[in-house]
Amino acid sequence: ADNSNFTAVLTGENSAGVRWLDRQHPAINEEGEIVDQWGTAIQFHRESWSQTTLRSAGPDRDFYSEDDLVVPAGE
């Protein structure tokens, strides 16, 4: 799924109007994407309607390499 769509939901663009993140949060880049500590947009992989896996490219900023940080769906 698109990072900016998740960011929109987390910043209050949801049916309940709940804001988990401020739009000006330093982890949100100019394109409206949540980025990791190295400035790379996090990948969101929807596994099902209720579960999403998050992937950071890690310090080398290259996705699917050995230093990626991954939070599996359901954790």
Question: From CA 14, how far away is CA 11, in angstroms rounded?
Answer: 8
pLDDT at 1: 57
pTM, two decimals, is 0.82
pLDDT at 75: 63
pLDDT at 17: 94
74, 51 contact by CB (below 8 A): yes
pLDDT at 14: 93
pLDDT at 73: 79
10-residue averages of pLDDT along the chain (75 residues) = 88 95 94 96 90 95 97 79
